[in-house]
Structure 1
Amino acid sequence: MDSEEGTVVLVSKEGDKFPVPKAVAYMSGLAKDTIDDENDDDEPEVPLPNVKADVLRKVIEYCEHYLKEKMTDIEKPLKSNKMSDVVQEWYATFVDSEEHEMLFELILAANFMDIKPLLELASAAVAAMMKGRTPEEIRKVFKIQEGDFTPEEENRVREENKWCEEA
């Protein structure tokens, strides 16, 4: 059997099972390593204890689309705060239509599952929301209370995220 034929079952934090083609599962470095380490060729299961079912559905939707239409590379620094200026329309709509909490969940899931293009897309969407805004505006957008960060932490965050600002 070809290494990318067959089905893999991704198992969410809640125990929900999502059968997907191996090619979709292989977009995840974690799933690929797990599958490659297993000996049975039937329908391997990949437990994802850090990924909620609703988030896993979105991850699968992304991976399925990516296999049909690869996402263009995201230029850094971001040239616009509109994702449609940064990536193809489908990808822009995918992240623009999500609540902040889901975007952060997608970032965590993509990082945990080792899906670099999804991690880049979701991170760029968050960066685009911050681009050109003052710290006060960012606090309001992301519902961050004043005093959540010390001045030192705020400066460190600014330094670490200079890449998302224009050169």
Structure 2
Amino acid sequence: MSSNKIVLTSSDDESFEVDEAVARKLEIIPDMIADDKAILLQNVTGMILAIIIEYCKKHVDDVDSEAKNELVMTWDAEFMKNIDMETLFKLLIAADYLKVKGLIDLTSNTIADYVKDKSPKEFREIFNIENDYTPEEEEELRKQNEWAFKDLN
């Protein structure tokens, strides 16, 4: 792969100079590459872009060997531990916009693992969803669909 440098500029004017191979991990990028021009990523802040670049640097030369996959999976797990839920949501949206499939999968799985086994109340709090049922209506729904709530608090 080429060792050309690409400048990625975030929506808040932070610039990151990265190897072209790293930039190409953002599948939206190849069509945007032009000589000596920074690529403006209007929908991504510098903080989120820095996280995405860190991920892409680690995954730039992904190969299918089991040893490499295990090392990368361990790195991915540690990488996700340091990211709060609000940032995870922003990261997921940006990864989708930039078409970084591996990061979309990793972020989605991390969010899914986090909300797994949460009660409906906890789920609503995490996703900032207002409960539009009265306590009486909710109780009636629980009775009607008891099978769905048997393991929840």
> What TM bracket, shorter-length normalisation?
0.7 to 0.9
Q: Is the 8 A contact 1:71 1:117 kept in 2?
A: no
* TM-score calculated relative to the size of structure 2: 0.74
**Which sections of structure 2, spanning at least 5 residues, go unmatched?**
66-71, 134-153
Of 62, 65, 84, 2:55 maps to: 62
**Partner of 2:109 in structure 1?**
124
- Poorly superposed stretches of 4+, deviation over 6 Å: none
Identity percentage over the alignment?
A: 31
CA shift in 2, pair 1:121/1:110, >3 Å: same
Q: Is the 8 A contact 1:100 1:142 kept in 2?
A: no
Which has the larger Rg? 2
* TM-score calculated relative to the size of structure 1: 0.68
1:1-16 mapped onto 2 (5 Å cutoff): 4-16=2-14
SS at match of 1:132: coil
**Which sections of structure 1, spanning at least 5 residues, go unmatched?**
73-86, 149-167
Shift of residue 94, structure 1, vs aligned partner: 1.2
CA shift in 2, pair 1:147/1:99, >3 Å: farther
Shift of residue 6, structure 1, vs aligned partner: 0.5
**Number of equivalenced pairs:** 129
**Partner of 1:111 in structure 2?**
96
Letter in 2 for 1:100: M
Give, in whole Å, the separation in 1 of the partners of 2:114 and 2:44.
24
Q: CA RMSD in A?
A: 2.7
